[in-house]
Structure 1
């Protein structure tokens, strides 16, 4: 076991991690900047909530067909590269338009590109990983997302500067050029991932020790959405995945609004979001020792409950001067670390709760569930902000995390890992 833990990462995984960093930097640079662009154009919480939902709306309908397509493809390279180009197109479209309807469409295009990259990457990890490597490989792949979630907001904060939009406008400044420049930089960053992907070999033999099925189904049963959801634990794992992803989207979309409401600059907001990404990277680096010491169910439960409490504190304290900002960074650090643990664990739990041949479709169904959350939860969050204020959207997302954690406790999903037979 010790020897296996020191095995270097395979080359294909390093390339996917590199492409993941580039594409996620784009997505997480572009999305908060889109919120600032909408604010600059005179729009508010409702429009930002709709734009966030639009990012997930079209992917909601194509996630499952894309997953089935992945199961038939010998190599996902071309599919993933096309997704990167679509992602870049969405970012460029956001830079080119000031029309609110076109901004919603551009957000949807961005979401499709992100979905294609994610489905292709997840499928590759699930196909090429042995059972003993799956936690670590999903951890590294999702760590690339967290690096992008760190770099994107940090870069957006640097490009937009240390003054809030209101302060910039009061001083006679105009941030429209900086906003569009940031969107163009995002588009260019993702395009760099295309040549990286084409270093990948078009085909690769499966692992010498194939992962054995932990679940058996009746012969001839097809991996439909209903059949997958009927398998034990799948619905619970998907609810956890939805909650863990929804909080990330709502943080990216609503933290700029929270910052503007209390006079905190884009630079500080970008640094807070980057802190969340950085600590998620750190936790994913330690996925292997964590999953060796604790069960996946325990790690997911801790991720849900601790993140809910820690992140809920952030908007509550942000407006209380330097002490409040420092406290927000501490809470974001704690919440970011635990959030980073949850997502790769749900990927492994879902992968091992279905037959091997169903994994691509099951992971795509997981993404479809995530997109349902990304469509509905931001809209509900934007409605909550009316009576409560911008912080209400984040508190709502934290409540969803708590509900998912409570469901796992009630249904006693706290047991040990299931091992291959």
Structure 2
């Protein structure tokens, strides 16, 4: 794709036309995910399920996507981003309907979580491939920063519904939340149809990716460390999503306050992503990634301390700011490195690592929670973040050279 074929990701034009539909889809996917996942946690608590099963439910969100991520990336390169986004939207709708209609049993909670995870996977692979195909080189940090800003906006807006539906209680009205999510999922399906697919110049020869493309991607310098950083950062976001409600229940914090804390975390991530291009220009990719990962580690651990609500909000905000950087930076690094026609597969490899972390880390957290509670889980997650932040010091400096 030539530079003329790529709409500029920055400036006013980047938010109009094709970008508007893509960003709206990204926002809605995250709104629904960040409504359904905490609500599933609260429904499990309502049903009296033990704390260890909360981690299992979180892992269910990632099990099917872990197996399907790489094939989904190859399919996206072949059939286009809009088709994959539409499929993801339909699966999110199926998840919301399952939880709303039959969510009074563990089996339905597991099934709804699996459907949500698979729908989320298809949606974000379609979205990320679209951005990777439209923005490259110097524009990629800004483009992925804006894309993930929209995602963070959804992550911040979703928990606000908990305030509307029983925020003064320890557990919100889960039935109304599930029902509202069904309506939102219908809108998501409609928006997915509006996404404009990008031209794929290599499709005629190779179906979107050259033979051996996955092997080539796996040999990119620094790939293991980048994928490890990405998966631990995303798992840390998942941990806050699942265990901040659990921490609030342990300490008698109202559900509305917990929803506000989750919103604070999302807003802080939005801020770091909105200014990502400027931050990279000033600090460089590697230095920014290491510094923000360490920042999130320090304040994730601080959130586990017996703090008052204002201090807890500050800790959650600073942790959220640091967590907001890891995902877009690894996306833009892969987009710059991947050959044309294989960017869907590149994004799927990153998602494989992310989903592996979402299976292993929350499951381990669930086992840990039985002994040390939600606060201990946050401290253990902080230690993991510190470890990958240290390892990220060996990543290639800034952007890889362009072909």
Provide TM-score, normalisation by structure 1.
0.87
Structure 1: segments with no counterpart, 5+ residues:
166-174, 208-218, 319-323
Query: What CA deviation, in whole Å up to 9, does each residue of 1:75-123 have, x standing for no partner?
Result: 3212211211211211221122211122111100110000000000011
List aligned pairs for 1:74-223, cutoff 5 A.
Answer: 75-97=80-102, 98-165=104-171, 178-201=173-196, 203-205=197-199, 222-223=212-213
For the pair 1:358 / 2:342, whether they are aligned, the reply is yes
Ranges in structure 2 where 5+ consecutive residues have no aligned partner: 1-7, 202-208
Q: Of 277, 292, 298, which residue of structure 2 is paired with 1:309? A: 298
CA shift in 2, pair 1:4/1:18, >3 Å: closer
The equivalent position to 2:257 in structure 1, one of 257, 268, 285, is 268
Work out whether residues 136 and 335 of structure 2, in 8 Å CA contact, stay in contact via their aligned partners in 1. Answer: no
Structure 2: how far apart are the matches of 1:345 and 1:188?
A: 33
CA separation in 2, counterparts of 1:205 and 1:84?
A: 22
Counterpart CA distance in 2 for 1:197 and 1:84 is 7
* Number of the residue aligned with 2:228: 239
Give the conservation status (yes or no) of the 8 Å contact 2:333–2:400.
no
For the residues of structure 2 that align with 1:220 and 1:13, how far apart are their CA atoms? 27
User: Do structure 1's residue 56 and structure 2's residue 46 form an aligned pair?
Assistant: no
Say if 1:86 and 1:221 are closer, same or farther in 2 by CA, change over 3 A: closer
SS in 2 for 1:264: coil
Distance in 2 between residues matched to 1:300 and 1:284, nearest whole Å: 12
Q: Aligned partners of 2:106, 2:200: CA distance in 1, in Å?
A: 47
Could you say which residue in structure 2 is the equivalent of 1:254?
243
TM-align CA RMSD: 2.2
Look up the match of 1:420. 402
Q: Is the 8 A contact 1:257 1:390 kept in 2?
A: yes
Please give the secondary structure, in 2, of the residue aligned with 1:389.
helix
Tell me the distance in 1 between the aligned counterparts of 2:87 and 2:10: 34
- 1:228, 1:362 within 8 Å by CA — same for their partners in 2? yes
Count, aligned residues:
388
**How far apart are 1:187 and its partner, in Å?**
2.2
Distance change >3 Å, CA 181–CA 293, structure 1 → 2: same
How many angstroms apart in 2 are the aligned matches of 1:220 and 1:310? Answer: 43
Q: Is the CA contact (8 Å cut-off) linking 1:54 and 1:104 kept in structure 2?
A: yes
What is the CA–CA distance in structure 1 between the aligned matches of 2:285 and 2:364, rounded to whole Å? Answer: 30
**Could you tell which deviates more after superposition, 270-279 or 331-340?**
331-340
User: Which residue does the alignment assign to 1:328?
Assistant: 312
Matching residue of 1:347:
331
Please name the residue that 1:170 is paired with.
none
Q: Please say if residues 13 and 141 of structure 1, whose CA atoms lie closer than 8 Å, have aligned partners that are also in contact.
A: no
Report if the CA contact (8 A) 2:368-2:376 is conserved: yes
Instruction: Measure how far apart 1:220 and its partner are.
Output: 6.8
CA distance in 1, matches of 2:139, 2:396: 22
Displacement after TM superposition at 1:240 (Å): 0.8
Mean alpha-carbon deviation: is it higher for 186-195 or for 140-149? 186-195
